[in-house]
Amino acid sequence: MIELITGAVDDRSARGIAAAVGRLVSAGSLPVGTRLPTVRDVARELGVSPTTVSEAWRSLTRAGAIQTRGRSGTFVATPAAPGRAGGTPRWARTPWCPATCPPACPTTTCCPTSPTRSSGSATAG
């Protein structure tokens, strides 16, 4: 499992780790209920600080892609049923993007996976 995650990470920033794991969840490579490796194990394998992985896990938790069950570990979350309050989580509806992006992320340049991301350009505003 850890090899799957570390193999999917191209950008070792918190945003890059979150995006890679989010893509694995969206693609079904990490099925619902799968227990994720510990923050320390992922950090060690990627050669980054545990704080970086912890930040990625927090982003994924805010997006509804994973959930922490105390000392039991961190697991891939079950998407909310469409008829339930909150509906389907954003990560299951659109190309995955870190929770720190604005709601219109797939059409903006903030997300590394955005189809409209422009190379190196930024807008002032």
User: In which band, very low, low, confident or very high, does the pLDDT at 25 lie, cut at 50, 70 and 90?
Assistant: very high
> What is the reported pLDDT for 80?
58
CATH code of 2-81, in short, is 1.10.10.10
User: Which residues, including other chains, have CB under 8 Å from residue 77's CB and lie 6 or more apart?
Assistant: 32, 64, 65, 66, 67, 89
Domain segments of the chain as ranges:
2-81
Q: Are 44 and 32 in contact (CB under 8 A)?
A: no
> What is the reported pLDDT for 122?
44
Residues 53-111: pLDDT tens digits?
999 999 999 999 999 998 899 999 987 555 455 555 554 554 545 555 545 444 444 55
